[in-house]
Amino acid sequence: MVMQVIQDDVLLTFKEAMSYLRVSRSTLYRLMWSGQLMGHKVGSTWRFYRDDLRACVGSEVPMMSPSSLFSKLDNALIFSYMYRYV
């Protein structure tokens, strides 16, 4: 029982999380930035609890309204335009 608790508290590296979920690097980043997966920054690297990875697999994908999607796209385009010519 004690070993089970210790194993569940172990932080996985980014590569280990990719392997555990069987997803690509970009998919893991997308899950983090969308709020579906909670990662923890330790120094310059990301770490993940196994329970958080399991919860991510079992969670529903939040649907975005068209207006919020377009506002995010508009902001991204404005941002890329501003920094392209700086």
Give the distance from CA 65 to its chain's centroid. 20
Average pLDDT in the 68-80 region?
Answer: 55
Find the CATH number of the domain harbouring 49: 1.10.1660
43, 14 in Cβ contact below 8 A?
no
Q: What is the count of structural domains for the chain?
A: 1
Is pTM beyond 0.75 here?
no
DSSP the chain: -HHHHHHHTPEEEHHHHHHHHT--HHHHHHHHHTTSS--EEETTEEEEEHHHHHHHHHSPPPPPPHHHHHHHHHHHHHHHHHHH--
Tens of pLDDT, residues 10-56: 899 999 999 999 999 999 999 998 889 999 998 999 999 999 999 88
| Residue 56: CB atoms within 10 Å | 19
Specify the higher pLDDT residue, 7 or 13: 13
* Strand 40-42 relative to strand 45-49, pairing: antiparallel
Domain span including residue 35: 2-84
